[in-house]
Structures are given as structure tokens and as C-alpha cells.
Chain A
């Protein structure tokens, strides 16, 4: 409880920071890469064990190897630095997860975690000045977006054969984001605001097979109900008081009332945008343990977005990620299962990852989506450690990772991405049938 209290306070303190990175502006935003500090520690794609020997917090087929019920909470923060551009720091809750192993054969789990981050603040690099009825008028575009999509995962897994487990996760997507499309005229923003309320369901299928000393892992994602959004478009206005809200507040520093007045504008128009995210993916992982405690792993995953992605979706860059390929190599030094020596309870992780993302673009002339040449390639590494404590096996994990994203888009260029993740897992004995006295 002491640790949870502290974690809660820190989560509240740090939650004042918000996320922002250029990929947040692509399509439905930047998808979450790791949902736990342990998976991040060896750049895992979530299939191979990283939490402890034979256990990954992201793979339900491995949960039956846990002895106790686990409550795990993760928090992460990132810093995005773009060359000759901007530097942004952000942080948020990484995940909150409850895992219930049943008789070392089955497992159930629920998890809440961000699915995509959409926070982005873009400023047009091309400002212009026009002559309007003899007066000089300056003009600058700005796009702001905040919010994102959350995922609530319901997972189950079972050992169907002595060496084979399968698992399934139903991923309920929900959340909202707010967009603010500004055209600053003589520094007075003409603001076109909209809201998107998301809903959708994905399914993730997992399989694990032990093949001699090698463990094989498979993961596939498909969409049961493609992501859709209820788009609410508000009437545009001049934000004279520059407070970001359509209101009737007078500000002496920015004199004037918002125009038109909030009471005069028509009701917001709503529209349901369907088929905006329909993912499919297939991943394979292989791991082998050497020297009882050293695990070497390799993972590959290919993702595809099969959605039509309606053109009416607010999209700052006019791009979205349609394909992505991920490769990761990990090395983990697991702790002893039972040891009272301090050093034997440590987990050390390291990983190396290569990712590539393919974008498509909406052509304003042909009104069609076409492949875009501005793709992204990413190369990164991660380092982490964890410490197991108490007899039930509580664990605290720390991870640092860094990657370099090369955006073909000349305006963005290279992006240095650094992150820090912390996770804590509390174990307890649940669902034990007490003996009658």
C-alpha cells in the first residue's frame, strides 16, 4: 500500500505533462509501443517473456506460469527532440493490469492502457502577409489536437496441450480527442474546433509452443468492429480573447469578445465516421534460455491498416500509417526463482529494435489516398532492470530507451526519441480454497 500510495501521488504530479510528437498527427495518432516497463526493457513486441522467466505481461499465453494474482501498474514518459524544430516532453499512465492465473493452466486478465496518442501542436512554417482592402494582414496556420484512444483489454489463455498454449484478448477501444484548426489573422485565431468520440473492437490471438529448448510465440491482431468516430463539428469563431474557448469572457490583455457570440451560432453538426482504423497484424517471436537465466529473443511483426479512413477525419499532416514492420532483438538476465541474495533477485534487460512505417496521403486534387514517399524508419535500443522482492514475487521495473526516427518529411527530419518507464507489480494469493477446520 505504501508503494501504491507513492505511485499514485507521482502519477498525479506528472500527469500535468502531456504528450506531443509528430507521429501523433498521423491518422489516428501514434499507437502505444509498450504497455509495461518490462516489455520496453528489451524492446519486446510483447510476445516473448520479459517480465520474468517464461512470463510476459503482454502475452496471455505466458500468464499461467505465474503463481499468484498480479496487479501491475506502469507509467512512462518520453521526450521528442526534432532537429532545428521543437523539443517536447510528455508522460502518462502506461497501463493498469490485473492478471489471474488459474491452476497453472489457465489465466484471465484485464488491462487498461492508452491505445494511441493524438496530442500534437503544429505551427505552419510558412507565414504570409496579404493586403486586404489596403491594409496589411498577417496570416499563420496552427493545428492543435489533444486526447487519444484508450483500450480496455479482456484476456483469457489456456494450456491446450502440454507444450502449447493459446490466448485471446478482446480489445475494446474508446476515448475522445479534440481538434482545433486555427488560422491566426493578425494574431487573432480563427478557430474551427471539432471533437471525435471513438469506439471499436479488436481481437488479439496468441499462441505459444515449446519446441525443445526454444519457445515459439505467435501473435495476430484483427479488427472485429473497425474503429469509428462520432465527429462533432463546432461553428468556427474568432477567439478574440485568445483563451482557447468559445465564450463571452472579456480579457483586458486581449480585449474583445469572441465572434460570433456563442449564443448566436448554430448547434454543432455531428457525423459518424466509419472504418477509420481496421488493423491486422501477424507477429512471430522466438526465445531461448541459456545458462538457466539468460534469454535471447527475436521478434518480428507486420502491421497493416485496412481501413478506408474517411477523408473527413481531421488530419493535420494529411498522412496516416498504413503499414509498419517491427524487428526486435532482446537479451534478458532473469533472477533466480528463489534466492535470498540481493543480487540474485535482479532482472537486467537490453534490447535493440528496428521499425519502419509506411504512410499514405490524401490527394486534395484527385480526392484519393495514395502511397506517400514520406515514410519513417526508426532504430533504437533499450536498457532496463527490475527487482523482485518479498516471497510472493512483487517486482519493480525501470527502463530507459532511446530511438532515432528518420522522417522523410523534410519539415520534420530526424527525431530523437527518449523514454523512461517505471512499473510495479504487486502479487497476492487470491482464489485459494481454505481448508475447513
Chain B
């Protein structure tokens, strides 16, 4: 570091000092904001381990006086919660797979030159990006297709996101045609090119979109209420909402469960435990996929 040199009336030394002060202030503010954001999560997590006598004290004491795992035990013993967890996991896995398959296939088809009616298809996609039929037409379509009451109603109607499709298409457009030509010379057909050349190159995009789709399926709530008729098919968010709303356990006709409920734990703690269990999968998935976000989205956003 050079000392004593002056540029624009300010020495390098003082610039360094200013820079350090700025960084310090920035870090302080960001830390404060981060802690503020973290506090509710920490509160929920701690309350999920509190037994019933500690609950009311948590407004003044963050750390519970007495700890218990009973709240989590209750959720595991109940029928509703594990079942809905499995359902949400299934919806997420199956739904995301279908989303990625259809988005990438459609994007690839729309990116390749020579597809008859390509412009018309593209216009239809852009139209759905700008306009939405609304709840009632969607309801009629789902009913008309015989999906009402089925989990497919939560997966198929939103199987392809127009935005993701356009980004994906743009990415495929940016791939050099020479790759295609080289592969064809070697005897590859469209499917082989897609599977063995295009898909491996689009891993960052696929990873980014898979997280968006997965989170969407995991948070599925209103579609589940609208289209599912059997409460045994409710996904996690619906069951969680019922738990929070009623506040007195899962409401199962289970006297052992009720006895457990009344003697060991507070309904508020059960709700907190349910919230913790609900957000854990997303807390795991997000950091893993985070590095792909920017790369995956920007790959398709710049036209080649």
C-alpha cells in the first residue's frame, strides 16, 4: 500500500480508513438486520422445545425453563402430520420432475429452428405469461379434465411455468448450432442430442428451476383446498394451517393422543414444532441450490 500519495485531494491512507469505517458500519447494519430476521425463527425453534409451563414465560424469557421433545413426539404419533409430510414430499418430487421434464422439452422444441408453428406456440406461451384465466376458469378446466379430487390437479395445471420456459428456451438458443451439427454427423438424433449434449450443459438452469418448482409444490396450499376433496390427501401446509387455526392439536379421534396432549404439552408448542418440521426441508434445499441461482437464471436471460 502506497502511503502519502494524493489523488483528488484525498490520501490513500485516509481512503483506506474511510473504507474500513464504511465496511464496519455496513457490517453492523447488516448484522442487525440479519439478527432481526433470524429472531422469529429462533423464537419458533425454541418454543417448539418448551413444555407447557414455560410457554407463557417465553414473552420475557427466550430460553425455555423446561425443555421437552414431546411436541415432536406428538406430531410423529399423530396420523395427520406424518401423512401430510409424506404427501407434500411426494408432490414435490413428482411435481418437480414433471415440471423440469416438460419445461426443458418444450423449451428445447421451441428453441430449435424448423419447428412448424414455432411463432404461434411462442405467442401462446407469452400470452399466458401476461394473462391468467382466473380461479373460476381454472376450476372448470380441472373439473372438466377429471382431475378434481386428485393430486394431479396440483401438478398438471401448473406443470410449465411460462417464465421458466422462456428463460430455458433462450438458454437453448444460446447454444451453438455447431454442437448439433457435430452430433448429427456422429449419427445422433434429436432425442440423443437433447439428452446427451443439451441437458448436461443446462444443469445450472435446471438446478435453479428445480428449486423454484420444488418450493412451489412444498408450499401448495390454496390449490389443495380448491381441488382436493378428501382430507386424507391434504398436503402439509393445509394441515399446518388447520393446526394453527384450531390450536388444540390435530383433532384426531384418538384418546391416547388427547391424553398426551393434555398432560405433557401446550398446543402452542405443537404449532411451533409443526412449523419447524415444515421449514426444515427448504432450509436444507436452499443452500444446496443457492449457488446455481444466479448462474442458472442469467444463462438464459442473455440472448446469444
Indicate, yes or no, whether A interacts with B.
no
| Residues of chain B at the chain A interface (Cβ within 8 Å) | none
Which residues of A approach B to under 8 Å, CB–CB?
A: none
